[in-house]
Amino acid sequence: MIEYRNVGKTFADGTPAVGDFSLVLPSHTTTVLVGSSGCGKTTLLRMVNRMVDPSAGQVLIDDVDVATRNPVDLRRSIGYVMQHAGLLPHRRVVDNVAVPLRLVGVPRAEARTRALDALEKVGLDAALAEKYPRQLSGGQQQRVGVARGLVADPNILLMDEPFGAVDPIVRDDLQQELLRLQRELGKTIVFVTHDIDEAFLLGDQVVILRKGGEVAQVGTPAEILAAPADDFVRSFVGLDKGRRTLRIQEVDGQRIVVDGEGRAAGVLA
Ligand SMILES: Nc1ncnc2c1ncn2[C@@H]1O[C@H](COP(=O)(O)OP(=O)(O)OP(=O)(O)O)[C@@H](O)[C@H]1O
């Protein structure tokens, strides 16, 4: 379990990023932090592995304040996947994936075997292992990033807009792959996005943020849709424009589900 207790962050240059944030993230579930640019999502995410230290409050992992942990050890024990994969350009794919293992002293041959396993887990062809990152598509590079995040089998995986820079079709694939992996692995995932559809698809718990890391609403996607806390949330999730309002229409004796604008969305089972 990860817990934020009255966390605040003002950066050294005086920028107030987070005011007073408290939240519990249950183990083995995915929590998605979603909000507009600059609302403090990345800052909050990075507090978990001490890439950012809060200026007030505490972040706890299984009741231990991360401030008491050695930042380097902590970082190595937590998976981290970022938007542009962050791969080392002069190292082959398999060596990129093996980096977190090599850093904690796993011998080269074992690290390589485990890296190849991780690549298979995220659905990448073994033939790509010996290529360099620039020889891969954006979507493949993101898969490599996910493999690297998982290779050391961390309990916690931090994902900062990992699918933000790929086209919508590849993004769909990556999202489905993550759902499949999570069903198998049951990690505690903290996922940052500005895309509410992605948040509702991936999140067991969704946290909608306003500027300054202020929580507008926390809940399951169903809870948020059933009872949006206020107009900000209603608008953010698209309830104000009828985008999420589904209706049933009879067509040739079949019950078809249509959206607010009458476009066919599916068939009622
Ligand atoms: N190292 C830093 N020094 C000063 N200000 C910072 C620093 N990092 C972030 N900020 C500021 O803190 C605020 C929150 O930034 P943060 O990156 O957490 O937001 P975000 O919600 O992740 O945004 P985005 O979706 O654009 O990545 C912003 O105003 C940002 O400019």
Q: Which atom of ligand 1 is nearest to the CA of 46?
A: 18
User: Ligand 1 centre and the CA of 213: distance in Å?
Assistant: 10
Q: In the chain, what are the domain boundaries?
A: 2-241, 242-268
Q: For ligand 1, say whether the CB of 194 is within 6 Å of any of its atoms.
A: yes
Mutate to test the pocket of ligand 1, among 11, 196, 214 (most ligand atoms within 8 A of CB): 11
One-letter amino acid at 85 equals A
Phi, psi torsion values for 21, nearest 5 degrees: -115, 125
Mutate to test the pocket of ligand 1, among 39, 192, 214 (most ligand atoms within 8 A of CB): 39
10 contacts 16 by C-beta, under 8 angstroms: yes
> Residue 96: what pLDDT?
96
Residue whose CA is closest, atom 14 of ligand 1? 40
Per DSSP, 113 falls in state: H
Give bridge partners of residue 254 from the DSSP assignment.
Answer: 251
Give the pLDDT confidence of 77-92 residue by residue, as tens digits. 999 998 887 899 999 9
Q: For ligand 1, say whether the CB of 53 is within 6 Å of any of its atoms.
A: no
> Residue 26: what pLDDT?
97
Q: For ligand 1, say whether the CB of 33 is within 6 Å of any of its atoms.
A: no
Pairwise pLDDT comparison (86 vs 181), residue with the higher score: 181
47 contacts 71 by C-beta, under 8 angstroms: no
> Residue 237: what pLDDT?
94
Rounded to whole angstroms, how far apart are CA atoms 73 and 65? 14
Q: Whose structure tokens read 């991780």?
A: 118
Q: Whose structure tokens read 């992992």?
A: 61
Q: List Cβ neighbours of 231 (8 Å cut-off, separation of 6 or more).
A: 240
Give the pLDDT confidence of 209-263 residue by residue, as tens digits. 999 999 999 999 999 999 999 999 999 998 887 778 888 888 888 889 888 778 8
Give bridge partners of residue 35 from the DSSP assignment.
Answer: 209
Residue whose CA is closest, atom 30 of ligand 1? 38
Q: List Cβ neighbours of 64 (8 Å cut-off, separation of 6 or more).
A: none
Would the pLDDT of 265 be above 80? yes
Q: For ligand 1, say whether the CB of 232 is within 6 Å of any of its atoms.
A: no
User: Ligand 1 centre and the CA of 41: distance in Å?
Assistant: 8
Give the pLDDT confidence of 61-82 residue by residue, as tens digits. 999 999 999 999 999 999 999 8
Assign domain 2-241 to its CATH architecture: 3-Layer(aba) Sandwich (3.40)
Q: For ligand 1, say whether the CB of 14 is within 6 Å of any of its atoms.
A: no
Would the pLDDT of 59 be above 80? yes
Rounded to whole angstroms, how far apart are CA atoms 62 and 80? 19
Q: At what angle do helices 108-121 and 138-150 cross, to 10 degrees?
A: 120
Q: For ligand 1, say whether the CB of 36 is within 6 Å of any of its atoms.
A: no
Reduce the DSSP state of residue 264 to 3 states and report it.
Answer: strand
Mutate to test the pocket of ligand 1, among 10, 37, 43 (most ligand atoms within 8 A of CB): 43
User: Ligand 1 centre and the CA of 37: distance in Å?
Assistant: 8
The complex's ipTM works out to 0.94
Q: List Cβ neighbours of 178 (8 Å cut-off, separation of 6 or more).
A: 146, 202
User: Ligand 1 centre and the CA of 119: distance in Å?
Assistant: 32
Give the pLDDT confidence of 148-176 residue by residue, as tens digits. 999 999 999 999 999 988 888 889 999 99
Give the pLDDT confidence of 105-161 residue by residue, as tens digits. 999 999 999 999 999 999 898 899 999 999 999 899 999 999 999 999 999 999 999
222 contacts 211 by C-beta, under 8 angstroms: no
Angle 30-35-36 (CA atoms, 0-180°, nearest 5)? 150
